[in-house]
Structures are given as C-alpha cells and as structure tokens.
Amino acid sequence: MKKLLLTGYEPFLKFKTNPTQAAVESLEGKIIGDYKIIGRVYPVAFKEINSLIERDIEAVEPDAVVSLGLASGISSVHLERIAINTIDGREDNTGFKPNGEKIYENGADGLFSKLPLKQLETALLNENIPVNISNSAGTYLCNNLMYSELYYLQHKKLDIPAGFVHVPPSHEIGIAQRVPSWPQEDITRAVHIIIENLQSN
Ligand code: PCA
C-alpha cells in the first residue's frame, strides 16, 4: 500500500483553531484511493519547519505529500502553483518575525508544485467544490513549508506528487473574525477529493 504524508498546521496568530489540523486528524490512518494517510500537524515555527518536513519525509518514505494551510480571506480552495525562496510577514508562534530572508541561501527563486493541479481543479469542480489555482502561497509558514518540501524532494531526487493547498477558514473562525468561511466537513471533503485524484496524469 502506498503512503501519503498529509500535513496541517496548529492554530496561529488570532485564529483559535486551524481547519487543516481538523482535516489531518480526521483523515489520519484512513485509506483513500491508492494511499494510506499518515498525518502530521506542524507548529507555526519558522526555525523548526524545514527539519520537521525533512525528518518526516525520511521517516515515512511517502509516495506522495500533500501539505495544507489555512488562508484567511479566501473563499475557495487554493491549489498553490509555486513556492518562493523567501520568508516575511507576521511573527510566528515562537515570537520569531521573518524579514525577507532566503529559506535556502543557494535555492532556486521558486519551486513549482508537483501536484497535478489541473486534474485536481477539475476533480474538485466536478464535486461542486469552489477552487482556484493560486500563483502565490504568500511568504509565511505555508510558503516556507511548500518550498522546503519541494527543495528536499528535489535534492533527494524523489519524483513524487507533492505540494501545497490553502483552505478557507472554518465557520468557527469565520464567526469570530467576520471573514468568509466554510463548514469544516467541506474543507475535509475537499482534501479527501484531492487525495483520491492524485494518481498521475
Ligand atoms: N496558514 C499559514 C501558516 C499556518 C497556516 O495554517 C500560512 O498560510 O502561511
């Protein structure tokens, strides 16, 4: 049985929950399509994230990696196309505030997703899930994780589907922050559909 490493994030900044944590926890251990799901929930910590994803790829030896993050303000699933070699923005959960540093000194400016984005977009639309292919994963932890994941796989010559998906807030956050939100079950269902449709195009 193939293994899929599914990662989410813990709550951060003003968000008291993170729908990606709930999605990972509910899909962990399940068999979806070709894959057994191995779930991990990461801390929102710049100084830890590179070694966490490297450690987990090494330990799990996944056949695919799907990483998830919350993006407040979006109202569709965002299939991220590219990660860029920089970190910037608000402070993380340890109090560290990035300031435009590179993630890897000698890394490429950008690394493209290794998920079949067009195929996933079609699959989600067919299931009536609003979705867009996004051309920026930002400069915060999610972009950092996407970049370091793709960098590590490239470095190890591991040619497997891998990439990043941003999801909208769940209603809990939507109500507290007055931002567009989705039911948690739709967010989890979108992730399920993505995994079911990962088979190479
Ligand atoms: N979203 C943030 C970091 C953690 C999360 O779930 C981001 O988009 O960078």
Query: Per CATH, is 2-196 categorized as 3.40.630.20?
Result: yes
Residue 9 CB coordination number (10 Å) = 26
Distance CA(85)–CA(87), nearest Å, equals 7
pTM of the model: 0.98
Would you state the pLDDT for residue 199?
A: 77
Secondary structure (H, E, C), the chain: CEEEEEEEECCCCCCCCCHHHHHHHHHCCCEECCEEEEEEEECCCHHHHHHHHHHHHHHHCCCEEEEEEECCCCCCEEEECEEECCEECCCCCCCCCCEEECCCCCCCCEEECCCCHHHHHHHHHHCCCCEEEECCCCCCHHHHHHHHHHHHHHHCCCCCCEEEEEECCEHHHHHHHCCCCECHHHHHHHHHHHHHCCCCC
- List active site positions: 142
The answer on pLDDT for 10 being more than 50 is yes
Nearest alpha carbon, ligand 1 atom 8: 142
pLDDT digits (tens, 9 = 90+) for 159-185: 999 999 999 999 999 999 999 999 999
Would you state the pLDDT for residue 201?
A: 42
Pocket test for ligand 1, best of 6, 24, 142, 146 (most atoms within 8 A of CB): 142
Pocket test for ligand 1, best of 18, 21, 140 (most atoms within 8 A of CB): 140
pLDDT digits (tens, 9 = 90+) for 34-87: 899 999 999 999 999 999 999 999 999 999 999 999 999 999 999 999 999 999
User: Considering the chain, what is the average pLDDT of its residues?
Assistant: 97
CA angle 183, 146, 99 (to 5 degrees): 105
Does residue 9 line the site of ligand 1, with CB under 6 A?
Answer: yes
